Structure 1
Amino acid sequence: MPDLLRYALGRAGGPTGQPAVVAIDGRSGSGKSTLAHRLAALVRGARMLHIDDLDWNEPLYQWDHLLVETLTQVRADGALEFTPPAWPRHGRAGAITIPAGTPLVLVEGTGAGMRAAAGLVDAHLWVQTDYAVAEERGIGRDIADGTNGDAEESVRFWHDWQAAERPFFAADRPWERADAIVCGQALPGVGPEEVAWAPRR
């Protein structure tokens, strides 16, 4: 894991007084959040920008302008204080906050490496996971969390989401711009605290 972090930070160049911005993208259920939390734990003061917060109650994959706006602010100010427009409309309080002096911002979520924001990230990691594995994980996670209702509703939501996610990825093809490809599922010979990855040639 530390070698992947060093590689990603190396893509950001030398210190500039601004946070390094690393996008972690992949299909739903691929293991993005797990990877982001593990990388964040290696850097004191690292912060995560969750796409799930940014696109909350927005039309599926029609929130690219919000990602561009937030990352533009991070680039300009080295910090972020942003309330997505859907939050007050739906009674959600607060804001997405990244304080000044943050050394690393991990943009985590489906679409984090989208073409529209490619010029605003320093490094882009694509988490590759077989669809069947991602589906089992994603539905199981949603049922356990109760995020999208009961088991039947969670399965329905998954397929509705995939109806938007799959054509988005087919058109945007973020893995082709990724700096590294990370394996999001267990492999023989790779321990639970290890991660298999390779720079994209």
Structure 2
Amino acid sequence: MRLHPGEPEATGWRAMSVPDVIGRLRAAAPDVRERPLVVAIDGRGGAGKTTLAQWLRAAVPGSAVVHTDDVAWAHACFDWGALLAGHVLGPLHRGEAVDYRPDAWRVHGRAGSITVPAGADTVWVEGTGIIRRELARSLAASIWLQGDLDVQDRLLLARDGDSPGHLAQVESWMREELPFLLQERPWAHATMIVAGPPPAGSEPGDGLLVADPVRS
């Protein structure tokens, strides 16, 4: 398996149902009482973050998903922690609804906003770079999706294409992703590691492969 430089390969994989994964995340989280349980889902592009977030949202009635790509859109690859903390995580921790339209959306004419209704049971925040020291106090639990980078690259190519413009964007992204992940080491700080991406045609009922993070 080809992994990021410095990322240890997880061992001791075991099958776990989606409800059991949710139970373990809740057990690892502090008492949140009147505010949502905020769970981070991290991994590089093509790891299956969006799919996993959809599965988890479907399994928890009243939960919601926030995509960090929406916060980062037309702003920065990774320098969006303060925006997420101030405009999304802050209101969630106060038990408030979220209705946030980033400045970049206004400048570039993107319609809509990032919304989470008040009273959400759980909020799944998915995106590369969400498990970071800057946000550690705002995240109740977290998942790192580990998988073969060659497989993930093929999935991204199939999804996004290989136009010169897109390849240039990917190259620019990788110049920031590699040092950022090596600095933050999300695989060492996650509550659990999940094997990704989910196999083609798999469904939530098939369960997940789960391992404990390596804390070295």
TM-score by length of 1: 0.88
| Residues paired across the two proteins, number | 192
**How many Å apart are 1:167 and its aligned residue?**
1.1
Does 2:195 match 1:183? Answer: yes
Secondary structure at the aligned position of 1:106 is classed as strand
**2:48 paired residue number:** 31
**What is the CA–CA distance in structure 2 between the aligned matches of 1:12 and 1:171, rounded to whole Å?**
24
Structure 1 gap ranges (5+): 144-149
Secondary structure at the aligned position of 2:134 is classed as helix
Aligned ranges 1:107-146 → 2 under 5 Å:
107-143=125-161
Percent of aligned pairs with the same amino acid: 37
**How many Å apart are 1:93 and its aligned residue?**
2.1
Aligned residues of 2:64 and 2:123 also touching (Cα < 8 A): yes
Aligned residues of 2:95 and 2:119 also touching (Cα < 8 A): no
**2:109 paired residue number:** 91
Structure 2 gap ranges (5+): 1-17
Does 2:23 match 1:9? Answer: no
Does 2:175 match 1:158? Answer: no
- Of the structure 1 ranges 164-173 and 11-20, higher mean CA displacement relative to structure 2 is found in 11-20
Runs (4+) off by over 4 Å: none
Give the letter aligned to residue 118 of structure 2. A
1:109-132 C-alpha deviation (Å, 9 max, x unpaired): 111112211110100110011211
**2:8 paired residue number:** none
**How many Å apart are 1:171 and its aligned residue?**
1.2
- Of the structure 1 ranges 35-44 and 153-162, higher mean CA displacement relative to structure 2 is found in 153-162
Aligned residues of 1:115 and 1:172 also touching (Cα < 8 A): yes
**What is the CA–CA distance in structure 1 between the aligned matches of 2:39 and 2:54, rounded to whole Å?**
13
**How many Å apart are 1:185 and its aligned residue?**
3.8
Does 2:46 match 1:20? Answer: no
**What is the CA–CA distance in structure 2 between the aligned matches of 1:63 and 1:185, rounded to whole Å?**
25
**What is the CA–CA distance in structure 2 between the aligned matches of 1:184 and 1:78, rounded to whole Å?**
33
1:28-87 C-alpha deviation (Å, 9 max, x unpaired): 111111111111110112100101111000122111111221212211234212111111
Does 2:72 match 1:55? Answer: yes
Aligned residues of 2:145 and 2:197 also touching (Cα < 8 A): no
**What is the CA–CA distance in structure 2 between the aligned matches of 1:166 and 1:96, rounded to whole Å?**
27
Give the letter aligned to residue 46 of structure 1. S
Return the match for 1:79 from 84, 94, 97: 97
Aligned ranges 1:97-108 → 2 under 5 Å:
97-108=115-126
- Of the structure 1 ranges 44-53 and 191-200, higher mean CA displacement relative to structure 2 is found in 191-200
**What is the CA–CA distance in structure 1 between the aligned matches of 2:133 and 2:153, rounded to whole Å?**
24
**What is the CA–CA distance in structure 1 between the aligned matches of 2:150 and 2:171, rounded to whole Å?**
13
Distance 1:141-1:131 versus aligned 2 partners, 3 A rule: same
**How many Å apart are 1:11 and its aligned residue?**
2.1
**What is the CA–CA distance in structure 1 between the aligned matches of 2:84 and 2:184, rounded to whole Å?**
15
**1:147 paired residue number:** none
**What is the CA–CA distance in structure 2 between the aligned matches of 1:136 and 1:159, rounded to whole Å?**
15
Return the match for 1:67 from 84, 88, 91: 84
